[in-house]
């Protein structure tokens, strides 16, 4: 049950990056001093996308490896 909830939470956070407001301390300090919130939102979204892309690529790689190994074991 706990594993299922964890998977669902990870999927939700991956699909809705607005829920994950990630910022480094330096970026946050620099952007809080300005009144322009659109720039802060842009920086925020950029950080989230840069963080998510490697995980998506690695997950895709493992999926193809799994599929290849599964097809090899069923063919034998």
Show the domain range for 19: 2-75
Dihedral sign (CA 50, 52, 56, 58): positive
Please give the tally of structural domains in the chain.
Answer: 1
Give the pLDDT confidence of 23-32 residue by residue, as tens digits: 566 766 767 7
| Report field, pTM of the whole predicted structure over 0.85 | no
**Residues in CB range of 70: below 8 A, 6 or more apart:** none
Provide mean pLDDT across the span 34-49. Answer: 78
Calpha distance 39→43 (Å, rounded):
6
Q: For 2-12, what is the mean pLDDT?
A: 85
């Amino acid at each position: 049950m706990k594993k299922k909830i964890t998977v669902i939470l990870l999927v939700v956070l991956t699909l809705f990056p607005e829920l994950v407001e990630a910022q480094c301390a330096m970026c946050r300090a620099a952007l809080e001093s300005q009144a322009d919130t659109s720039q802060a939102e842009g920086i925020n979204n950029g950080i989230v996308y840069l963080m998510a892309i490697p995980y998506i690529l690695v997950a895709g790689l493992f999926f193809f490896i799994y599929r290849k190994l599964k097809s090899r074991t069923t063919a034998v």
